[in-house]
Structure 1
Amino acid sequence: MQLYGVPGWGSTIVEIMLALAGEPYDFVDVTGFDRPGAARDRLRAINPLAQVPTLVLEDGLVLTESAAIALWLAGRHPELAPAAGSADHARFLRLLVWYVANVYPTFTYGDYPERWAPSAPQELVDATDRRREELYLWLETQLAGPFALGERVTLLDAYIACVISWRPRRAWFAGHTPTLLAVAERVRALPEVAPVMARSGL
């Protein structure tokens, strides 16, 4: 498999998933894909939407969207998700889709405010930052500990591991969402995950 991504970006979430699953992959660094140039052209040849993560499977099939990749991996590695039909499986699906539907857009728009609100970019940054904090405060109430859904690590924990390095940053999480922070640090310390975090710079 080949994973197209950027160290420290959202593709790190999929790197963690692949590490938890023990799936070998080659990382293709497309730093700079978000502006015109060779990196963007290289990524668009695989994924015309020019998004990371983009995962190319052994048979050439292209998978995008981290939630889709998580569900594909859960099919191959059922130990990384709660049992189908269980209450925890419903929670797993809810939080997985909730994250990508709610938290992701705050970065999509807040990281590139000049694209979406050229007349008031800072207002957009401030609004998306506030919204993200509200979302994480809610997520704090949903986490079981010691991992996101309880005693066993799941693919959902790959998201938790990364978020404490992104806005609003670790100090905010320490002061407002101690359970989320504790889950993230526990996942980051796992022997299969720690090397991913080191490579990503998170």
Structure 2
Amino acid sequence: MMKLYGAPGCGSAIVEMMFVLAGEQYRWINVEGFDEPGPQRDALLELNPLGQVPTLKLDDGSILTETAAIALNLLDSHPELAPPAGSAERQRFHHLLIWLVANVYPTFTYGDYPDRWTQSGAEELRDSTNRYRQQLYLWLESQLGHGPYVFGDQISLLDTYLAAMISWRPRQAWFEQNTPKLYTVAQAVRAREEFHEILSRNEL
């Protein structure tokens, strides 16, 4: 069985929702505290030298990291969780998936731990990444149709990102007011019964 190393409230919750959506069995291993020196971080570093979650140990013992890589790996055996291969919508899926993790994710990397990146001006770095993230979400809002999911009536792996990320900064009230399409998609995913336990355990 695959082993998913994660921590409550982190991006590992997105991968958990992906696995549930795909009907894949996995074992969740809590490494809360991985971002500070200690046994949890030491254990994670043995698997992933970058010390990041999610870290996935596959059935064959190999290690896979990065949510987008895990999503694309899942699509090999669950192609129904994205628009049809070769379609324009599949191209949009790839574009938005990579755009999300390449643009939005780094704002948390730098904004959540500003002291790691600057000896002065940590608060300024946090504030600037928060503002930039809002601009990114406004752009993403402009790319969406009328739901209920990103690609219409069919849920995809991309939708699991929004279900978790609206609980992160700038928080749900901001999304509801400024990006109603993103908010609607996220709530449609969060309303699905199969995700309730994951969202509750991750305090999302």
**3-state DSSP class of the match of 1:153?**
coil
SS in 1 for 2:193: coil
For 2:181, the equivalent position in structure 1 comes to 179
Instruction: Give the drift of 1:46.
Output: 1.1
Q: Does residue 111 of the first structure (1) align with residue 112 of the second (2)?
A: yes
Q: CA deviation at 1:87?
A: 0.7
2:153 is aligned, of 151, 154, 158, to 151
Query: Please, which of 157, 170, 175 is the counterpart of residue 172 of structure 2?
Result: 170
Q: Displacement of 1:67 after TM fit?
A: 0.3
Distance 1:23 1:137 in 2: 33
Say how many residue pairs are matched.
Answer: 202
Structure 1 residue 71, shift from structure 2 partner: 0.1
CA distance in 1, matches of 2:89, 2:195: 23
Q: Which TM-score applies when normalising by structure 2?
A: 0.97
Counterpart for residue 190 of structure 1: 192
**CA distance in 2 between partners of 1:122 and 1:199 (Å):** 30
Query: Does residue 72 of structure 2 align to residue 71 of structure 1?
Result: yes
CA apart distance, 1:78: 0.7
Residue 167 of structure 1 aligns with an amino acid whose one-letter code is: R
Structure 1, gaps ≥5 residues long: none
In structure 2, the gaps of 5 or more residues are none
Secondary structure, aligned partner of 1:193: helix
Match of 2:21 in 1: 20
Alignment-derived partner of residue 51 in structure 1: 52
Deviations 1:3-48, CA, capped at 9 Å, x for gaps: 0000111111111111111111111100111111000011011111
Distance in 1 (alpha carbons) for counterparts of 2:110 and 2:77: 33
Which amino acid is 2:56 matched to? L
2:94: which partner in 1? 93
Q: Which residue of 2 aligns with 1:60?
A: 61
Instruction: Give the aligned residue type for 2:26.
Output: Y
Q: Percent identity?
A: 59
Residue type matched to 2:185 in 1? V
With the length of structure 1 as denominator, give the TM-score of the two structures.
0.98
Q: 1:191 Cα shift?
A: 2.0
| Secondary structure, aligned partner of 2:157 | coil
Structure 2 letter corresponding to 1:23: E
Q: Displaced runs of 4+ in structure 1, greater than 6 A?
A: none
